Amino acid sequence: MVSFTKVEGISRYAQIREALRQEINAKRLLPGQKLPSEDELAAQFGVSRMTVRQGISDLLDEGLLYRKHGVGTFIAQPQIARDHSRLSNFFESSLANHVEAAMRVLVSEILPAKLKIGKALALEEGDLVIHIKTLRSANGIPVTVHDAYVPYKLFPRLLKEDLVSHHIWDYMGQYGYPVKRAVQRLEAREADEKLSKLLGIEAGAPTLYKERTVYAEDGTPVEFTYCYNRGDRYSLTVTLSR
């Protein structure tokens, strides 16, 4: 049962909204758990069903709750909200969102660069690159498949480093190429069968696809990445001005 104390001067629906938010933040209401019906909450809070609906509506808009038509309202899994007005990595964004991040290495190898990857990294086609493919999870839920390519000649010992506990950008700084900026392109794509199995979603489900080239302080391209993010677990914020 959700605790609720009426406070004079604050609308009832706002108090209900914040009471539910507190339960979610305190993990007394867990992701995937079904919320009591509007009638049940109205009886519990001693308000009208319309008042309960107003409070729930704000949390639906924020993405803290979601509805299944004909089934009910549920607690949403926390999203990774990436602020694309600054360059940050997955672990930094997870920490900012109070999300427990984890990473599993799927592929780590050295191979010849294909044409597109070579151009992005200022290499010749066939030059050696380090390929690191990882599956990233937030609170135990897979959210991102990250397919990175790094110039072997700049970071020849990278595969001997701890690629699970530390982000590769940390090692780039140690090698004398601290990461400074990136150029990226984003688009919506449907998950194919292989990707859907990795992310635990249905084939054809929406993903946010990203191609990104990362540059060091001196302008050297140090990483080219293909990235697939679950559409239901990932959001981005971009700051615009004129």
In this predicted model, which residue has the larger pLDDT, 93 or 34?
A: 34
**What DSSP letter does each residue of 207-239 carry, written as one string?**
EEEEEEEEEETTS-EEEEEEEEEETTTEEEE--
| CATH number among 2.40.160.40, 3.40.50.300, 1.10.10.10, 3.30.1280.10, domain 12-75 | 1.10.10.10
d(Cα 33, Cα 66) in Å, to the nearest integer? 11
DSSP conformation letters of 66-129: EEETTTEEEEPPPPEEEETTS---HHHHHHHTT--EEEEEEEEEEEEPPHHHHHHTT--TT-EE
Look up residue 69 and give its two tokens: 């038509």
R_g (Cα) of the chain, nearest Å: 22
The owner of tokens 């799927």 is: 106
Residues 37-59, mean pLDDT to the nearest whole number: 88
Q: Which residue has the higher pLDDT, 65 or 217?
A: 217
Where on the phi/psi map is residue 200: left (φ > 0), alpha (ψ -120 to 50), or beta?
Answer: left
Instruction: Please write the tens of the pLDDT for every residue from 67-123.
Output: 887 888 888 776 665 555 566 666 666 666 667 778 899 999 999 999 999 999 999
CATH of 80-237, one of 3.40.1410.10, 3.90.1170.40, 3.30.420.40, 3.40.50.1820: 3.40.1410.10
Contact 42, 16 (CB under 8 A): no
Per-residue confidence (pLDDT) for residue 30, from 0 to 100: 82
Model confidence over 125-144: pLDDT tens digits? 999 999 999 998 888 889 89
d(Cα 161, Cα 159) in Å, to the nearest integer?
5
pTM of the model: 0.68
Average pLDDT, the chain: 86
Give the chain's largest Cα–Cα span.
Answer: 71
What is the domain partition of the chain in residue ranges?
12-75, 80-237
The upper half-sphere exposure of residue 216, i.e. CA atoms within 13 Å in the direction of its Cβ, equals 22
